Amino acid sequence: MGVSFKEMVNRTIRAGMGEAARRRRGRVPRVLPHSFGFKPGADLDKLNQLVDELDVEAAADKLRGAAGDSSRRKRSRTRA
């Protein structure tokens, strides 16, 4: 055949993209925006505190794993 694998892949991709572009001459899809905001009364400070606690736990787990310590004590998360 005389064509390298890379050239054959590039030709195939170009051919596929060309066909897809020709077939896609229809209506443009409509995007409907939606607000996924927080509900009234949600305490964002508590949410940030939870994220911080999860980050600390993940870092501690990583350090424990590097040190070879298999014992793990579960801490209770802040509630309220």
Band (pLDDT 50/70/90 cuts) for residue 22 is low
- pLDDT of 80 higher than 80: no
| 33-65 exposure pattern, b = at least 16 Cβ within 10 A, e = fewer | eeeeeeeeeeeeeeeeeeeeeeeeeeeeeeeee
- pLDDT of 41 higher than 90: no
Q: What is the pLDDT of residues 50-69, one digit of tens each?
A: 899 999 999 999 998 877 65
Q: What is the mean pLDDT of residues 28-40?
A: 83
- pLDDT of 72 higher than 60: no
